[in-house]
Amino acid sequence: MTSSPQDPAASGQTPDRYVVIGNPVAHSRSPAIHAAFARQTGEAIAYDRLEAPLDGFAATVRDFLAQGGHGFNVTVPFKLEAYDLADRLTERAEAAGAVNTMWQEDGLLHGDNTDGVGLVRDIQDNLDVLLEGRRVLLLGAGGAAMGAMLPLIECRPSRIVVANRTAARASDMLEEFVEAADQYGVELWGGGLDALEALAEDEGCEIVINASSSSLHGEVPPVPEWMLGEGVLAYDMMYGAEPTVFLRFAERCGARVSDGLGMLVEQAAEAFYNWRGVRPRTAPVLAELRAALRAEAGR
């Protein structure tokens, strides 16, 4: 059997080991995504799931690295602990206050947050919706929203409105990004969900991103129907075999809709690039995952 770029195992190389660390972690699709990236690029890696005890994240990381691990992704509930554990942070990890990608280099543990760049690449590259000059409504002010803010700002939308259940939390979050917004010429607004109409004024927003936990609870954020009409992209960071309640509501209002599956693939591609210095093609992997979701839903 001859080796090929699509078959790294055939070269006889011992694969470098990577994992996703979380609790729970059995549901993670990251192993399938990175296995597809490895086949595509010819990189010799092995990628698995690793569940850490809720009180044992740092010990799990130390043990994994001591056994020769090269890098890892971090999922709930350890992204804040990963931030504290890193010796060196990227600018976007510092801005997010959380880390989802780590690797060792020059004796230091590096931390990055690839969620936000995954979001903007999905919107701009996969959905072909440019963010520059657009008015963006971001629902939520938690970790997912924090991770999205700097990459969104760097795309130079005209305005980012952050609406959160607790208005003070939205205002506090925006304070962290005033300097970046000034640098890129982005107007920042923030407040409570009950003030959405006033925040967006009559002109509304062209891109509405749900970064809140509402979809996990089967709830629809209180977005006025007129704000989700024709020409608006309604994006939910959550994904599943069926559309979220927010996306079903937005579609009934006339908006174009998308879940966060592409964001998942794009953030993984950025992590892969951090580790290997190779940028995989995401379109075929996204299509493969989408087909798997449809099969799970019996469609």
The catalytic residue positions are 79
Binding site, annotated residues for NADP(+): 91, 140-144, 164-169, 237, 260
Gap between the Cα atoms of 95 and 89, Å rounded: 10
Tell me the sheet residues that pair with 46. Answer: 17
Category of 244 on φ-ψ map: left (φ > 0), alpha (ψ -120 to 50) or beta: beta
Nearest CA among 220, 221, 170 for reference residue 191: 170
Q: Look up residue 158 and give its two tokens.
A: 């005209």
Binding site, annotated residues: 28-30, 75, 91, 100, 115, 140-144, 164-169, 237, 239, 260, 267
Helix (H) or strand (E) holding 181: helix 178-184
Strand, helix or coil at 102? strand
Binding site, annotated residues for shikimate: 28-30, 75, 100, 115, 239, 267
- Give the pairing of strands 16-22 and 135-139: unpaired
Gap between the Cα atoms of 41 and 121, Å rounded: 20
Question: Which residues, at least 6 apart from 252, have a Cβ–Cβ distance to it below 8 Å?
Answer: none
Q: Starting at the earlier edge strand, list the strands of the sheet with 88-89.
A: 45-51, 16-22, 71-74, 101-105, 108-112, 88-89
